[in-house]
A and B are shown apart, each in its own frame.
Chain A
Amino acid sequence: MGFAPKGGATARKEWYDRNPIIRSMDFTSVGVAPHGDTIRASWTVATGKKAFIVSVHAGVTRQTAATTAGIFRAYVKVVGVRALDALESGNTVGDGGFGGVGYSGFAMAGDVIELHTADSSTGGTCAYSVGGSVVEFDA
Chain B
Amino acid sequence: MKRVTVRVLPPDADNDGYHVHLPTYAMVGGSEVLDGQGRLVKVDVFVPDDECDESGALDKAKIRAKYRGQPRWDREDILEDV
Q: Which residues of A contact B (CB under 8 A)?
A: 25-33, 35-44, 46-48, 109-110, 112, 115-116, 118, 128
The B contact surface, by secondary structure, is loop
Interface size on B, residues (CB 8 A): 25
B1 vs chain A, min Cβ distance (A): 10
B22 vs chain A, min Cβ distance (A): 7
Tell me the nearest residue of chain B to A30, going by C-beta: B29
B48 vs chain A, min Cβ distance (A): 9
* A47 touching B66 in the complex, CB below 8 Å, given contacts A37-B17, A38-B17, A38-B19: yes
The A contact surface, by secondary structure, is strand
Q: Which residues of B contact A (CB under 8 A)?
A: 8, 11, 15-20, 22-27, 29-30, 38, 40, 66-70, 72-73
Cβ-defined partner of A44 (8 Å) among B20, B26, B30, B73: B73
B45 vs chain A, min Cβ distance (A): 8
CA distance A39 to B16 in the complex (A): 8
Q: A28-B29, A41-B26 are in contact. List 20 more A-B contacts (CB 8 A).
A: A26-B26, A27-B27, A27-B29, A32-B29, A35-B18, A35-B40, A36-B18, A37-B11, A38-B18, A38-B19, A39-B15, A42-B20, A42-B24, A43-B24, A44-B24, A44-B67, A46-B66, A47-B68, A47-B69, A110-B72
